[in-house]
Amino acid sequence: MFSNNQIEIDSLPKVEDLKLKAIDKRYFNIIIFNIIITFSSLIGVFTALRFVIKKAVYNTHVYWFLLVGLILFFLIQFIVYKLGFKMRRYAMREEDIIYTEGLLTNTTTTLPFNRIQHIEIARSFLARKMSLSTLKIYSAGESGGDLSIKGLPKEEAETINAFLTKILNERV
C-alpha cells in the first residue's frame, strides 16, 4: 500500500550542524594573483590608450577617473573575495558530498554519490607550484549538479578522488 506521510521539518538534520572543512588558505593567493593580473592588464590598456588618443580630455580627466575607478573596484573585489573565501567549505558524508561557497550569493550543493558520473583532478600552473588541486565531480542529469572544489591540497584531492572512484567502481 502506498503512503506519503508528512515529515516534520524540525526533525530533519541541519546542514549548519555539519563540520564543514575549509579549503586551503593558499588558494586565496591564486585568486588574488588572478585579480592583480586582470586589473594590471586593464590599467595597461587604459595607459596605452592615453598615449594613443591625443585628445586633451582623455589625457587628463578620463584617464584619472578610469584609473581611480579601477583601483576602487579592485579594492572592493578584494574585500568581497576575502570575506567570501571563508565561505568555501566542504564535507563528506556516508552518501554524499556537500560544498558551500559565496558571500553575496551563498550556494550549497549536495551531490549524492549515486549521481556521480565522472571525477577528475585539475591543476593550474600556480596550483601545481603550491601543491593545490581542483576536484571536479560531474553528476548524472542536469548540468547544474556538477561540483568543483578548488583549493584542495593535492594529497587530499587524490584521497577523495580514490574514495569516490572506489564507490563508482563498486556500483558497476
pLDDT over 70 (residue 106): yes
In this prediction, residue 64 carries a pLDDT of 82
In this prediction, residue 144 carries a pLDDT of 65
What value, to the nearest 5°, has the Cα angle with vertex 14 and ends 146 and 81?
A: 55
When the candidates are 1.10.357, 3.30.300, 2.60.40, 2.30.29, the CATH number that belongs to 89-171 is 2.30.29
Burial of 157 (0-12, 13-18, 19+ CB in 10 A): buried
Cα atoms found within 13 Å of the Cα of residue 121, Cβ hemisphere only: 19
Average pLDDT across the chain, whole number: 88
Strand-pairing partners, residue 107, are 101
φ, ψ for residue 40 (rounded to 5)?
-65, -40
The single-letter DSSP state of residue 20 is: P
Burial of 168 (0-12, 13-18, 19+ CB in 10 A): middle
**Are the C-beta atoms of residues 67 and 59 closer than 8 Å to each other?**
no
pLDDT over 70 (residue 143): no
Q: Which comes out higher in pLDDT, residue 93 or 15? A: 93
Cell of 9: 521539518
- Position 99: which residue type? Y
Cell of 15: 546542514
22-78: per-residue pLDDT in tens?
999 999 999 999 999 999 998 888 788 777 776 655 566 777 888 899 999 999 999
